[in-house]
Chain A
Amino acid sequence: MTDQEILQLYRSGERDKAFRALVASYKERLYWHIRRMVLDHDDTDDCLQNTFVKAWQSLDRFRGDAQLFTWLYRIATNESLTFLSRQQTRGGHLELEAAGRLSTDPWFDGDQLQLALHRSIAKLPPKQKAVFNLRYFDEMPYEKIAQVLETSEGSLKASYHHAYEKVKAWMKEEMDAKY
């Protein structure tokens, strides 16, 4: 079902049916986007459900001048950033601890290279991490990322470039230390 069909169904009064279709369409993409931000499966599940609850609460006000895809990614990114900032407020950089626990996480299958990658990404500032993930993993065009994060394409390109260089350097450092 396309975004347009989902919205038409919702506006025709079939709200539950339309929303189920919306969750079905976006659940996996949004799950992986959030998971790469917060790393832990249970935390991701919480953030994903919060994302859909917020989408449900404000779908009435969705004007349609943005794509449903962009709008949902924005909510999911904000949920992830809120989660990360709450963790930092509670003390320490818990996302670094979460990255440290990846090697024993039952829902993580990565090798040393993957561990080095996610540990390095965890060191990025949260917003830069969002930029890096959307571009590197989702291969989202800058134009779309700019819509999701509500920022200019120019600053995004610079931010991604810096993030890419930092992650590369940290990965190399970690891999060199191991081998």
Chain B
Amino acid sequence: MNEEKDILELARQEGNAFRTPEGYFDSLEDRVMARIAAETAQTPARRPVWSVLKPALTLAAMFALIFGMGYGVLSLTHTLGRDANVAATEYASAEEEMITPASLINYYQTEPAEEPEIDEETLINYLASELSFADLAEIYAQAN
């Protein structure tokens, strides 16, 4: 055994150089058990199923709400679209009744219906009176 190895062997032979406070080991079981009890008490009880599921259910409800709102908006848009189609159809049928270049030509080529004439006396009476245009129209209607 060389000199260097003797250093380690010598140190080993001297034994344990560390000490502990008086009675340290005597109370260790109690302290360990007390700490385990304290840590067990601090550990929150297992959460009930409801509290575990609550966040997931809230998320699902929010998703359903957003989906519902989106569906509602889309449905409404679709209805408006359908109304627009109806309106377009109505417009098309109305358009058929509208004046077209052909109908205008027909109108001018057709003999105009004989317009009822206002006789001179009626006209003088009107001018002499203070009849309104509405009164005149009524008189005119009566005359015809």
Q: Do the beta carbons of A113 and B11 come within 8 Å of each other?
A: yes
In the complex, A31→B16 CA distance in Å? 13
Q: Judge if B47 is at the interface, Cβ distance under 8 Å.
A: no
Q: Judge if A24 is at the interface, Cβ distance under 8 Å.
A: yes
- Contact residues of B: prevailing secondary structure: helix
A131, chain B: closest CB distance, angstroms:
15
Q: Do the beta carbons of B8 and A28 come within 8 Å of each other?
A: no
Q: Judge if B54 is at the interface, Cβ distance under 8 Å.
A: no
Partner of A49, one of B5, B12, B20, B31: B31
0/1 string, A43-78, CB within 8 A of B gives 1: 001001100110010000000000000000000000
In the complex, A31→B12 CA distance in Å? 18
Q: Do the beta carbons of A109 and B28 come within 8 Å of each other?
A: no
Q: Do the beta carbons of A171 and B11 come within 8 Å of each other?
A: yes
In the complex, A172→B8 CA distance in Å? 10
In the complex, A107→B14 CA distance in Å? 16
Residues on the B chain within 8 Å of A6, using CB: none
Partner of A53, one of B21, B24, B28, B39: B39
Q: Judge if B17 is at the interface, Cβ distance under 8 Å.
A: yes
Q: Do the beta carbons of A111 and B14 come within 8 Å of each other?
A: yes
In the complex, A52→B33 CA distance in Å? 9
In the complex, A178→B40 CA distance in Å? 52
Partner of A23, one of B17, B29, B39: B29
Q: Do the beta carbons of A27 and B29 come within 8 Å of each other?
A: yes
Q: Do the beta carbons of A20 and B17 come within 8 Å of each other?
A: no
Counting chain A CB atoms within 10 Å of each CB, the highest count among B11, B18, B32, B35 belongs to: B18
Q: Do the beta carbons of B18 and A172 come within 8 Å of each other?
A: no
Q: Do the beta carbons of A110 and B7 come within 8 Å of each other?
A: no
B31, chain A: closest CB distance, angstroms:
7
Partner of B8, one of A27, A48, A171: A171
A29, chain B: closest CB distance, angstroms:
11
Q: Do the beta carbons of B32 and A41 come within 8 Å of each other?
A: no
Counting chain A CB atoms within 10 Å of each CB, the highest count among B12, B28, B33 belongs to: B28
Q: Do the beta carbons of B17 and A114 come within 8 Å of each other?
A: yes
Q: Judge if B118 is at the interface, Cβ distance under 8 Å.
A: no
B141, chain A: closest CB distance, angstroms:
107
Measured CB to CB, the nearest residue on chain B to A139 is B12
Residues on the A chain within 8 Å of B12, using CB: 136-137
What would be 25 A-B contacts, judged by CB atoms less than 8 Å apart? A19-B33, A24-B29, A27-B29, A28-B25, A31-B20, A32-B16, A36-B18, A41-B18, A49-B32, A52-B32, A53-B32, A109-B18, A110-B14, A110-B17, A113-B14, A114-B17, A116-B11, A136-B8, A136-B12, A137-B12, A164-B8, A168-B4, A168-B7, A171-B8, A172-B4
Besides A23-B29, A171-B11, A175-B7, 14 other A-B contacts (C-beta < 8 A): A20-B29, A20-B33, A23-B28, A23-B32, A27-B29, A31-B25, A32-B16, A41-B20, A49-B32, A53-B36, A110-B14, A114-B11, A171-B7, A171-B8
Closest 4 pairs between A and B when the two form their complex, measured CB to CB? A110-B17, A114-B17, A117-B11, A52-B32
